[in-house]
Structure 1
Amino acid sequence: MSPRTPSRPVGTVTRGTTNPNRLRRMDRWIAATHGAALRRAADPVAVDLGYGAAPWTAVELLGRLRAAAPRARVVGIEIEPARVAAAKPYEREGLSFRHGGFELPLPSPPTLIRAANVLRQYDEEQVAEVWARLCGRLAPDGLLVEGTCDEIGRRHVWVALGPEGPRTVTFATRLGSLHTPSDLAERLPKALIHRNVPGEPVHAFLRDFDRAWAAAAPYASYGARQRWIRAVRDLAADWPVTDRPGRWRQGEVTVTWGALAPRERPSG
């Protein structure tokens, strides 16, 4: 017997702020790293969860995924009925919109769930429950990508999770706008943003990244991209960086979740 679907959508309404191209860095990373899984899937469904007051991010996700997986379909899911009604005119082959929340009102498990800027308004203590609920809805080869970005997508940090839980954390930026890597701290996802304090791994990571960036200053004469690549190369000597220079050139770096996971807080 399938799990009972809640009578009401699970979650709360977000502010709904969105802009065209805001999630391009996340989308391109997903297409590059998860495209093969989407191509293998019998029914490659991707969910744009909490797409907001306008449907631009779902429309763009479809185009970017289809460049890597031509059979991909996107379902935009929103907890606010008026937003679903406003998005309906944009439906077309491969793109639909539904009313719902974290319960994901779909007939079968999706291959991808993208939840961008959704958990920012929640308490840190609620994140693990939401992650577990969403990961439990994934297809066996599925991926949940949950993170936060600024209003025009220049700075973005996201966590990638499989059915078993969190795997990696990716930092992505428009390099021309970056002063130091720790500028990205303001866009840490909810699971990490309150942990950017001394004694926590994410704080140590950003500290070391800033030091590597400073040491790579001579490479700035060749451009911000070369400086970033050199800084990440040095950072990888002490931190478990999982990606390669091809991704670094995009202004990205990905690290294992275990290296940045919050420390357990004392009880009592």
Structure 2
Amino acid sequence: MARPVGTITRGTTGVNRLRRADRWILAAHGHLLRTADRPLIVDLGYGASPVTTLELFQRLGGAQVVGIEIDPARVAVAKPYERPGLSFRLGGFELPVDRPPTLIRAFNVLRQYGEAEAWSYWELLTGKLASGGVLVEGTCSETGHRAVWAGLDREGPRTLTFSARFDAFERPSDLADRLPKTLIHRNVPGERIHTFLRDWDRAWAHAAPYENHGRRQRWLRATGLLAQDWPVFRHPPLGGRARWRLGELSVPWSCVAP
């Protein structure tokens, strides 16, 4: 077997750490997974414990899920949890699977790479997707209370989603430390992501009186204000009040791209 492509990560994980992303996947791409022919879901770089892969398998309700890890010891730990429809394999960005995946989830995998490498791995992974398939790549805090992820198809990045518990930040720009590697170093004056976060903070400040009714109401008001100047998704499945109430906000990648 050829050496897996990539580098071993710290492997930090935990119960429900990726719940926010999984909830979004079901909302945004549930139809794709229900209608695809033999959909294959890959969880790339699940870490020292297979718990988040198990959770993804359970939340998807029976779709075939393959967890891939570059560390043989982690694969050995995960093997006893295999069951029909769920398996674990040694590998990396080359994706040792028998057919193109409909969905790839890769969280907290690319943070250790440089920006150019992150772009190249995006291209490698999206090139392996099935027709109509998606890559969900992002990072989250240790508890999963703050997360940012990009949604990509075979043509490249399409969306950027921010998700947070209402008590996990002081202002929206606090989520900047969870930006994808392709954006995190771009959060400087002159870059669109910096302007977006600046405007979001301003909207958050203007919405301060709504916190008397709870932080959710402040989030809803700030999102509405931001949507006056930015193409925030306003309708399902990526936007609208139902998504915003969960502490989510999604925008087209094009409006924040480097």
1:92 paired residue number: 83
1:7 counterpart = 2:16:
no
Map 1:203-214 → 2, pairs under 5 A: 203-214=194-205
Tell me how far 1:219 sits from its aligned partner: 0.8
Tell me how far 1:7 sits from its aligned partner: 2.0
1:32 counterpart = 2:27:
yes
1:265 paired residue number: none
Q: How many residues align?
A: 253
Which of these residues, 154, 158, 170, is aligned with residue 161 of structure 2? 170
5+ long unaligned stretches in structure 1: 1-5, 263-268
Provide, for residues 188-207 of structure 1, a one-character-per-residue CA deviation record: whole Å limited to 9, x for no partner. 11111101111111111110
1:72 paired residue number: 63
Aligned-partner Cα distance in 1 for 2:224–2:155: 29
Provide, for residues 63-83 of structure 1, a one-character-per-residue CA deviation record: whole Å limited to 9, x for no partner. 1122xxxx4121000011111
| SS class of match (1:253) | strand
State the one-letter code of the partner of 2:226.
L
1:248 counterpart = 2:238:
no
Q: CA RMSD in A?
A: 0.9
1:54 paired residue number: 49
TM superposition score normalised by structure 1: 0.93
Which of these residues, 183, 193, 197, is aligned with residue 174 of structure 2? 183
The percent of aligned pairs where both chains have the same amino acid is 64
TM superposition score normalised by structure 2: 0.96
2:257 paired residue number: 261
2:107 paired residue number: 116
Provide, for residues 202-225 of structure 1, a one-character-per-residue CA deviation record: whole Å limited to 9, x for no partner. 111110000000101111111111
5+ long unaligned stretches in structure 2: 234-238
State the one-letter code of the partner of 1:42.
D
| SS class of match (1:59) | helix
Aligned-partner Cα distance in 2 for 1:24–1:92: 21
2:223 paired residue number: 232
2:236 paired residue number: none
1:3 paired residue number: none
Provide, for residues 107-156 of structure 1, a one-character-per-residue CA deviation record: whole Å limited to 9, x for no partner. 11111100000000001111111011100111111110000000000100
2:125 paired residue number: 134
User: Would you identify which runs of 4 or more consecutive aligned residues in structure 1 move more than 4 Å?
Assistant: none
